[in-house]
Amino acid sequence: DAKKLVRSPSGLRMVPEHRAARSPFGLDEPPWVPDKECPRCMQCDTKFDFITRKHHCRRCGKCFCDKCCSKKVPLPRMCFVDPVRQCAECALVSQKETEFYDKQLKVLMNGATFFVTLGTTDKSELMVCRLSNNQRYLVLDGDSHYEIEITQISTVQILTEGFTPGGGNTRAIGMILQYKVPGSEEVTQMKFTAGEDFSCNKKLSASWLAAMHKATKLLYESRDQ
């Protein structure tokens, strides 16, 4: 994608000029609490002065003292290249997201093989499913070819097996995905099933589905923002 980068409102990072070119998993930076409206730390209530300086959390925009906002953690969802200062609560959330960006995003881009059923038909097609490099499309390749905009996905249901009332382990074996066709309100459904004849790919398929489950959570969070 050819996309022009511009400075964000805070001037601290570079983002694509047009929102449509940004990652669907991304978050907009929050408005910062103005300095004049924050005489005390919003966590420990310590009063700011020449010695106790105020710092803004890059993720929530609130104002803290150095002790309450000392962690520097990666924040790829806001396009920060280097680790940035965050409050303890936000740092914990960002650290949990690191696994998605370091590992699961690569799993989604590498792809996995599934039997794909379109709509309510019984006919399935063996297809390689992967996330595009710009993170904006789910690409399906087989005899047919589909490109589903991530932003048009409305629901994702992960299908599992092995559940027992006693809380036994479950294994992801497929998913049901619903999305809107661009330019209409029509909702299309696809079912993805890991093939039983491809035992060597079972683990890969399960890993891909787990990554897709995490990606869906981040997508919903981005929308709720």
Tens digits of per-residue pLDDT, 111-131?
999 999 998 788 899 999 999
Read off the pTM: 0.78
Mean pLDDT of 22-35: 85
Whether 11 shows a pLDDT value over 80: the answer reads: no
Higher confidence at residue 179 or residue 15? 179
**One domain for residues 17 and 59:** yes
Q: What is the CATH number of the domain that holds 158?
A: 2.30.29.160
Q: Express each pLDDT in 81-118 by its tens digit.
A: 789 999 999 999 999 898 899 999 999 999 999 999 99
For 150-207, how does the pLDDT look when each residue is reduced to its tens digit (9 = 90+)? 989 999 999 888 755 555 567 788 999 999 887 777 899 999 998 765 555 678 888 9
* Residue-level pLDDT at 1: 47
Can you give the CATH number for the domain in which 52 is found? 3.30.40.10
- Count of domains for the chain: 2
Residue 59 sits in the same domain as residue 75 = yes
| pLDDT for the residue 168 | 58
Position 184 scores a pLDDT of 78
Distance (Å, rounded) from C-alpha 211 to C-alpha 216? 9
pLDDT at position 9 is 65
Q: How far is 186 from 59, CA to CA, in rounded Å?
A: 36
Domain final position from 106, 127, 148? 106
Q: What is the pLDDT of residue 215?
A: 92
Looking at 106, 137, 166, the residue that finishes a domain is: 106
Which residues sit opposite 118 in a β-bridge? 190
The whole-angstrom separation of Cα 211 and Cα 106 is: 9
Tell me: do 130 and 72 sit in the same domain.
no
Residue with tokens 């995490």: 214
Question: What is the structure's pLDDT at 176?
Answer: 94
**Domain end marker among 72, 106, 140:** 106
Q: Give yes or no: residues 119 and 16 share one domain.
A: no
**Cβ-based neighbour number of residue 87 at 10 Å:** 24
